[in-house]
């Protein structure tokens, strides 16, 4: 059984590695929830299968799948993908799964954050609350139980002591209303093994996660941040991106470096079509409604860095090529692969949201 530890990662000499450090593998969750995924979830499943197949060609991948979907997932996924039966409430492994940490001895452990479904966006979420513990149990990795409501998409680390996040998300009263900014920073330092927290303001416009950082900005290597950028002064993202640029320009990372900022184009704006609308969610499963014309939270920053690859979303033919060119220059030692991910976007996220890397290390 996975051990639950009473200390913190920082106290034990552990840190969360940067996403570009070597992985032991990647975790995903098979989508099936018909009130969130259109067409009986079939289009979403095809998109998840494409993402899983691309990643599995470069590193081991585990797909968590419910008993009723096991045979369906097995048919659609490469034989190299490991299936692990597990009950979940939805399929956002970045947010409900654990954040893995390592130490200088090569030991691997995991952080199990409090989870409340993005501030009460969906219900129920009891199965997702248990997911991090289940993953760590499968890996026999010791578990740290963090006293902080946090989703993995709300943080991005450089592996050298710095974490990026947004005020819109972590200071949102729907997450940790009893905690101050200083107290939240202390929890981040304790459970990620960082010493510097860089706060941006709002996240991407119309991102239903309340401003996850992985749609706005991310580290691509120490001292270098990719930022979603908008050139249209009439778009509400325009002011948000400029505020983020100003904050990043003034920031120093844990090593005292100023940050180089690389701008990624904003796709679209993209909107939900009539044929894609989810007019209402079943009262027993959710509280939000979706309709045609709703703006989608589309961002090229929502990519996954794996062993030897960068997997990016293809969102808009007008900007896909520019985004790919920028990422190719940022990651010269990795193959940049693009996949059409509108079906994932319609569910509320993108490639980074549905993946969770497990860094190299031996559980202990």
Contact 186, 10 (CB under 8 A): no
Kindly state the tokens that stand for 253: 């990372």
The whole-angstrom separation of Cα 333 and Cα 305 is 11
Secondary structure (3-state) at 146:
strand
Half-sphere exposure of 38 (CA within 13 A, CB side): 19
**Nearest by Cα to 303 from 318, 314, 293, 319:** 314
List, by residue number, the catalytic residues.
Answer: 353
**Nearest by Cα to 9 from 96, 95, 129, 99:** 99
**Residues 357, 98, 94, 214, CA torsion sign:** negative
The whole-angstrom separation of Cα 176 and Cα 184 is 8
How many C-beta atoms surround the C-beta of residue 252 within 10 A? 13
């Amino acid at each position: 059984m996975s051990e639950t530890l009473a200390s913190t990662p920082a106290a034990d000499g552990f840190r969360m590695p940067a996403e570009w450090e070597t992985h032991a593998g990647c975790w995903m969750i098979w989508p099936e929830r018909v009130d969130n995924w259109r067409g009986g979830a079939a289009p979403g499943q095809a998109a998840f299968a494409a993402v899983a197949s691309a990643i599995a060609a470069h590193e081991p991948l585990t797909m968590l799948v419910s008993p009723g979907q096991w045979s369906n997932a097995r048919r659609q996924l490469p034989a190299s993908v490991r299936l692990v039966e597990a009950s979940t409430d939805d399929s956002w492994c970045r947010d409900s799964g654990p954040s893995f940490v390592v130490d200088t001895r090569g030991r691997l452990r995991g952080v199990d954050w409090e989870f409340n479904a993005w501030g009460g966006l969906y219900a129920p979420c009891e199965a997702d609350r248990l997911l991090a513990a289940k993953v760590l149990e499968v890996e026999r990795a010791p578990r740290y139980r963090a006293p902080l409501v946090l989703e993995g998409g709300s943080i991005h680390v450089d592996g050298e002591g710095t974490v990026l996040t947004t005020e819109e998300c972590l200071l949102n009263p729907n997450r940790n209303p009893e905690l101050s900014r200083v107290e939240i920073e202390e929890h981040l330092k304790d459970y990620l093994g960082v010493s510097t927290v860089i706060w941006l303001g709002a996240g991407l416009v119309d991102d239903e996660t309340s401003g996850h950082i992985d749609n706005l900005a991310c580290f691509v290597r120490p001292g270098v941040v990719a930022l979603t950028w908008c050139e249209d002064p009439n778009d509400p993202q325009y002011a948000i991106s400029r505020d983020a640029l100003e904050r990043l320009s003034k920031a120093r990372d844990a090593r005292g470096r100023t940050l180089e900022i690389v701008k990624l184009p904003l796709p679209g704006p993209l909107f939900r079509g009539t044929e894609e609308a989810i007019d209402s969610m079943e009262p027993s499963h959710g509280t939000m409604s979706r309709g045609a014309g709703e703006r989608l939270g589309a961002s090229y920053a929502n990519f996954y860095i794996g062993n030897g690859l960068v997997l990016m979303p293809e969102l808009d033919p007008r900007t896909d090529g520019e985004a790919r060119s920028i990422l190719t220059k940022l990651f010269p030692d990795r193959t940049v692969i693009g996949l059409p991910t509108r079906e994932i976007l319609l569910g509320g996220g993108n490639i980074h949201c549905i993946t969770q890397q497990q860094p190299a290390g031996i559980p202990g």
